[in-house]
Amino acid sequence: MGKRMEFSAYIWIYVCLTIFLLVCRTNATCTWPSVFDGTTWLDSQQGEIVFTSSTLSGFSIPIYGTTLSNYECVEETFDTDKIILIRSTSSANSIGGIWYTYICLKFTELTAGVSYTYYRLNPQQQDAGEYRTKPVLDGDTGTIASVCDEATGASGAEFVTIIKQGSEASAYITCPSVILGRFDFDYTDSAGTESCNDASNTEHMNVCTDKTQLAFDDPCSGQSIVYASGSVHCVATSTVGSDTYIQLYNPQATAHEVSSTIYRFSCMAISSNSLSATIVYNNCTNHQTSLYVPRSHDGTVIGASISFLPYGKILLYK
């Protein structure tokens, strides 16, 4: 009798373990698409993001007073519509309970395996520093269907660019025609100080010799108008209305932010007539236009304006 009861106990433990494993498998997170698994990417908004076999680090989102920096894959439809839904691996406490934050990322491939842009298909959250994310109570499950919302998510100029670390040069693209040429310019920084407008200096910026690059043949007293210490390269572009947005990459930068004037990425919005532009560090924002320099959520101006004086552009269309 005792042996029979002992055997029954083993059977019961086996059944419980089997049910537990099945439940775990049912709720298991997804795996990263192969292009991301085990790789590091340079992100124009976040800096460096690192995909391990199970987590993603680099997305630091402050929410309810807690910064959440590690994420896992929850659901992905990357092969069909380039969407990945990620969730923080830790939580934040606030009124109402314990919250995890979800981020829905929709990618567009630029150079296969090398560079992408993505939009965050979440609304901006006041309690998350205006980051686009979706807080979900512990115990509830977020899915692509319930979390991703193109209607309230980022669109237009508000794209983010990522480049695979070690393949930066392969991400360079031909700059859009609106910026191809040689330019003199006036530059007005975030403090409203105008400079670089000495009429005796010409060909400050050259986008003719190498059409992937904004080169500065005659720098303005050592001052950069593109948050760089040298030339920058076009890596992504989008046209919204009459403005063209150009994501620029600074190959001299070894970190996301080197100083208050040098960054790895910057973004230019330029008018269709090539005369007016604004420039911001990191990536373009949803309020930026070729005539309006955007501000952060606390009211701080985060860019500068440029008046271009183009000449020689007609040669590029022959």
Q: What is the pLDDT of residues 162-185, one digit of tens each?
A: 999 999 999 999 999 999 998 888
> Is the residue at 26 inside a domain?
no
Residues 176 and 311 grouped into a single domain: yes
216 and 94 in a common domain: no
Same domain, 158 and 181: no
CB 264 within 8 A of CB 257: yes
What pLDDT is stored for residue 9 in this prediction?
44
178 shares a domain with 277: yes
Give the model's pLDDT for residue 130: 85
* Within-domain flag for 235: yes
Q: 116-125, pLDDT tens digit by residue? A: 999 999 999 9
Last residue of a domain, one of 168, 191, 215: 168
What is the SS3 assignment for 11?
helix
Q: Is 154 exposed, middle or buried (0-12, 13-18, 19+ CB in 10 A)?
A: buried
Q: Which residues contact 29 (CB under 8 A, 6 or more apart)?
A: 54, 72, 73, 74, 87
**Is 183 found in the same domain as 128?**
no
Task: Verify that 130 and 164 share a domain, yes or no.
Answer: yes
Q: Would you say residue 215 lies in a domain?
A: yes
Please check whether residues 298 and 177 belong to one and the same domain. Answer: yes
Last residue of a domain, one of 168, 199, 232: 168
78 inside domain = yes
Residue 312 and residue 249 in one domain: yes
Asked if residue 155 belongs to a domain, the reply is yes
- 200, with CB counted inside 10 A (0-12, 13-18, 19+), is exposed
Q: Number of folded domains in the chain?
A: 2
**Do 297 and 161 fall within a single domain?**
no
In terms of Cα–Cα distance, which of 316, 270, 310, 274 is closest to 291? 270
Among 136, 168, 200, which residue terminates a domain? 168
Per-residue tens of pLDDT for the chain, all 318 residues? 554 444 444 444 443 433 333 333 334 479 999 999 999 999 999 999 999 999 999 999 898 989 999 999 999 999 999 999 999 999 999 888 999 999 999 999 999 999 999 999 999 998 887 889 999 999 999 999 999 999 999 999 999 999 999 999 999 999 999 999 988 888 998 888 888 876 666 558 999 999 999 998 766 766 789 999 899 999 999 999 999 999 999 999 999 999 989 999 999 999 999 999 999 999 999 889 999 998 887 788 889 999 998 765 544 433
Q: Looking at the structure, do residues 177 and 80 belong to the same domain, yes or no?
A: no
Question: With contact defined as beta carbons under 8 Å apart, do 207 and 234 qualify?
Answer: no
Residue 164 contacts residue 195 (beta carbons within 8 Å): no
* pLDDT score of 258: 94
The three-point CA angle 250-251-255 to 5° equals: 80
pTM of the full structure: 0.86
* pLDDT value for 18: 37
In a domain, 34, yes or no: no
Whole-number percent of the chain with pLDDT over 70: 86
Domain that holds residue 69: 40-168
* Same domain (yes/no): 229, 118: no
Same domain for 196 and 260? yes
Question: Quick check: is 95 in a domain?
Answer: yes
Kindly state whether residue 16 falls inside one of the protein's structural domains: no
